[in-house]
Amino acid sequence: MSQYTTVTQVKTKTIIDLQKMKQSGQKITSLTAYDATFAALIDRAGIDVLLVGDSLGMVVQGHSSTLPVSMQDMLYHTQIVSRGSQQAFIIADLPFMSNATPIQAAQNAALLIQQGGAKMVKLEGARIENIEFMVRQGIPVCAHLGLLPQSIYQLGKYAVQGKDANAAENILADALQVEQAGAQVLILECVPAALAQQISAQLSIPVIGIGAGVDCDGQVLVVYDMLGISLGKIPRFTKNYMQQVDSIFEAIQAYVQEVKECQFPLAEHSF
């Protein structure tokens, strides 16, 4: 008998896996993570995507918005999340004013990938030139449309986007443009479910929703929101999974199962 023990290699999810899930109609599950312990716990529950979100500015740092979050903050949190994760696909946010130009976006994205361990970076808005430039450098990009937290001072409040016909048409047009520019994933935040359904159907890339209805290709929530421990008001589009289980791990498992079985979000969590 061999003195050596065979170690099972854990396969890390790739963008190809997410694309196959889109094509087969299998829902993609995602949660935010900000540290190694939560990352390991969420990863072990079978989540597909870990999002290192600049939402950490609000739920971890205690700010009133995501705007104070720096590149140093994002790099640090991406590094510790990547240490805790084994199989999930890791996406990291480019924070406010870290992608004002294509070159700046690419340089900061490189930091999150080379030093942080991210597999993809996310940027808010239809920044077509930035997306195209990063894609040409081999950087995987996730676009983010709908409610854009980094633009909160322009918006004035956190509110559903795309409610009227013109606004909906603009978001759909932006979605088609970011896909054409080379984005491989799109996150849609706080848009009407009917609009999200239309966008998900028209795009060939995975569309992950947050407050965007059940017909997106996947769902993402802020982990503190779905555990009912966020400091502020819990958004309508989330659900407190700790109310029905005895542990954080079981709550995450319940979320994964409900997303996979199209039991979350329900109409009460949608617009």
Q: Is residue 145 part of a domain?
A: yes
Alpha helices (H) in 156-204, listed in sequence order: 165-181, 193-202
Please report whether residue 3 resides in a domain. no
Confidence at 234, pLDDT banded by 50, 70, 90: confident
Inside any domain, residue 136: yes
Look at residue 233 in the predicted model and tell me its pLDDT: 83
| pLDDT at site 8 | 54
Q: Measured between alpha carbons, how far is 265 from 70 in angstroms, rounded to an integer?
A: 32
Among residues 124, 179, 189, 258, the one annotated as catalytic is 189
In a domain, 8, yes or no: no
pTM here is 0.96
At 161-214, the pLDDT tens digits run: 999 999 999 999 999 999 999 999 999 999 999 999 999 999 999 999 999 999
Asked if residue 4 is part of any domain, the answer here is no
The separation between the first and the last C-alpha atoms of the chain, rounded to the nearest angstrom, is 61
Q: Which residues partner with 146 through β-bridges?
A: 189
Q: Is 6 inside any structural domain?
A: no
Q: Who's near 148: CB < 8 A, 6+ residues apart?
A: 124, 125, 155, 189
129 is catalytic: no
Range 35-64 average pLDDT: 97
Cβ–Cβ < 8 Å for 219, 265: yes
Q: Is the pLDDT of residue 95 over 70?
A: yes
List the CATH number of the domain containing 241: 3.20.20.60
Residue span of the structural domain in which 158 resides: 15-269
177 in a structural domain: yes
Q: What is the pLDDT of residue 231?
A: 82
pLDDT at 224: 97
Whole-number mean pLDDT of the chain?
Answer: 95
Burial tier of 263 (Cβ tally within 10 Å: 0-12, 13-18, 19+):
exposed
Provide the domain count of the chain: 1
Amino acid at 224: Y
Q: How deeply is 25 buried, as exposed, middle or buried, from its count of CB atoms within 10 A (0-12, 13-18, 19+)?
A: exposed
Domain annotation covers residue 137:
yes
pLDDT tens sequence across 102-142: 999 999 999 999 999 999 999 999 999 999 999 999 999 99
**Which sign, positive or negative, has the C-alpha torsion 55, 56, 60, 63?**
negative
Given this model, what pLDDT does residue 2 score?
43
- Rounded to an integer, the average pLDDT of 212-232 is 95
User: What percentage of the chain carries pLDDT values higher than 70?
Assistant: 97
Confidence of residue 4 (pLDDT cuts 50, 70, 90): very low
Cα(189)–Cα(219) distance, integer angstroms: 10
